[in-house]
Amino acid sequence: MTRFEQQRQFLKSNFHEFKHIKTDKIKGITQPPIVKPFDPKSVLIDLPKVSKDVVSNENIFNCIDQRRSTRFYSADTLCLEELSYLLWATQGITGMNKIGLTLRTVPCSGATHTFETYLMIMRVEGIQQGIYRYLPVEHKLLFMFELDELEQKIDAVTLDQPFVPNFAKKAAVLFAWSTTPYRSEWKYDISAHKKILIDVGHVCQNLYLSSESIGAGACAIGIYDQKLIDEILRLDGDEEFVIYLSAVGKKRE
Ligand SMILES: Cc1cc2nc3c(=O)[nH]c(=O)nc-3n(C[C@H](O)[C@H](O)[C@H](O)COP(=O)(O)O)c2cc1C
């Protein structure tokens, strides 16, 4: 039992302890950027304006009812309008609060939004295969680089899958959410980490439901090679690292 104890503590609220901590915010240390900065010389791709025209199943009851983790995909591409919609549904900015933090399509503890969305794109109409990052403020894609042997690398990242071997590489897109914990630690100190994990669950659930609404399916992936995915995405693995993945593709008939 003892080896579970520490892990179980992590699941509990530590607000009592947190209340007595002088956080970096209280100390007056500058707030970290609310989104990851990017090189202005980067290649940016405009995403189509988000429209409900892509939605074939507008019925929220049916989307919730029919959602399943989908590990078999058709060979169909996603169109750019659909990708734009999925990115908006998972991290899109829909407002600002009084202190200049982004409000998004997903709830998030203290609006700290510690996530960045990386995409390993296999089949999206008009987009070359490769690695991209979503820029939520601009609602654009940032092209990062092409990756040789993309599908083999996805296999290596997603390790031995317990249900359907090697399914992730057959998706149209693999979403990889990173976290930059300090965006939350600055405000919540030792309480940040549990919140971050809860927050990312909301993001992935919106991917499931928005995918369902366009005839696509998602499958969350918690079994992945941490070091390899961080290396591939060129993340330092400490200040920023991948926390969760999900494959998405059109459903098979
Ligand atoms: C945190 C988390 C991690 C998961 N990791 C994987 C995974 O690595 N591979 C996989 O095939 N499914 C994964 N799943 C999907 C679950 O296996 C699935 O949600 C569960 O079997 C229930 O099926 P349903 O989503 O179709 O209702 C994950 C789900 C969650 C929420």
pLDDT attached to residue 234: 98
Task: Give the pLDDT band of residue 64 (cuts 50, 70, 90).
Answer: very high
pLDDT attached to residue 166: 95
In angstroms, the CA 32 to CA 249 distance is 35
Q: Which two tokens stand for residue 131?
A: 């690695």
221 lines ligand 1 (CB under 6 A): yes
- Does the residue 6 lie in any domain? no
197 lines ligand 1 (CB under 6 A): no
Residue 17 is which amino acid?
E
Q: Which two tokens stand for residue 73?
A: 């995909």
pLDDT attached to residue 221: 98
What integer is the mean pLDDT of 64-81? 98
pLDDT attached to residue 250: 98
Percent of the chain past pLDDT 70, that is, above it, reads 100
Q: What is the DSSP letter of 251?
A: B
- Does the residue 1 lie in any domain? no
- Does the residue 13 lie in any domain? no
What integer is the mean pLDDT of 56-72? 97
Beta carbons within 8 Å of 208's beta carbon, 6+ residues apart: 67, 69, 218, 220, 246
Q: Mean pLDDT, the chain, as a whole number? A: 97
For the chain, what's the residue count?
253
In angstroms, the CA 149 to CA 57 distance is 35
pLDDT attached to residue 2: 86
Q: Return the residue matching tokens 């199943």.
A: 57
Task: Give the pLDDT band of residue 111 (cuts 50, 70, 90).
Answer: very high
**C-alpha 221 to ligand 1 mean position (Å):** 6
Three-class DSSP category at 161: coil
In angstroms, the CA 111 to CA 99 distance is 10
What integer is the mean pLDDT of 197-213? 98
User: Is the pLDDT at 204 greater than 90, yes or no?
Assistant: yes
Residue 108 is which amino acid?
C
In angstroms, the CA 163 to CA 72 distance is 11
Percent of the chain past pLDDT 90, that is, above it, reads 96
Torsional sign, CA 176, 181, 187, 192: positive
Task: Give the pLDDT band of residue 253 (cuts 50, 70, 90).
Answer: confident
State the CATH number of the domain containing residue 61: 3.40.109.10
Q: Which two tokens stand for residue 20?
A: 């007595």
Q: Which two tokens stand for residue 51?
A: 């429209």
What integer is the mean pLDDT of 107-135? 98
User: Is the pLDDT at 133 greater than 70, yes or no?
Assistant: yes
CA 144 to chain CA mean position, Å: 16
**C-alpha 114 to ligand 1 mean position (Å):** 22
- Does the residue 10 lie in any domain? no
- Does the residue 18 lie in any domain? no
Q: In this structure, are residues 79 and 154 in contact, taking their beta carbons and an 8 Å threshold? A: no
User: Is the pLDDT at 1 greater than 80, yes or no?
Assistant: no
Find the domain containing 37 and state its range: 25-250
Q: In this structure, are residues 203 and 91 in contact, taking their beta carbons and an 8 Å threshold? A: yes
What integer is the mean pLDDT of 228-238? 98
Torsional sign, CA 168, 197, 124, 42: negative
User: Is the pLDDT at 6 greater than 70, yes or no?
Assistant: yes
User: Is the pLDDT at 183 greater than 90, yes or no?
Assistant: yes
User: Is the pLDDT at 238 greater than 70, yes or no?
Assistant: yes
Query: Which residue has the CA at smallest separation from atom 1 of ligand 1?
Result: 222
- Number of folded domains that form the chain: 1
Any alpha helices (H) in the chain, and if so which ranges?
A: 2-11, 15-18, 60-66, 80-91, 150-158, 182-188, 192-213, 226-232
**Helices 80-91 and 192-213, interaxial angle, to 10°?**
150
What integer is the mean pLDDT of 5-14? 93
pLDDT attached to residue 125: 97
For the entire predicted model, the pTM comes to 0.97
Q: From 221, 224, 226, 245, give the residue whose CB has the most ligand 1 atoms within 8 Å, as the site to mutate.
A: 221
35 lines ligand 1 (CB under 6 A): no
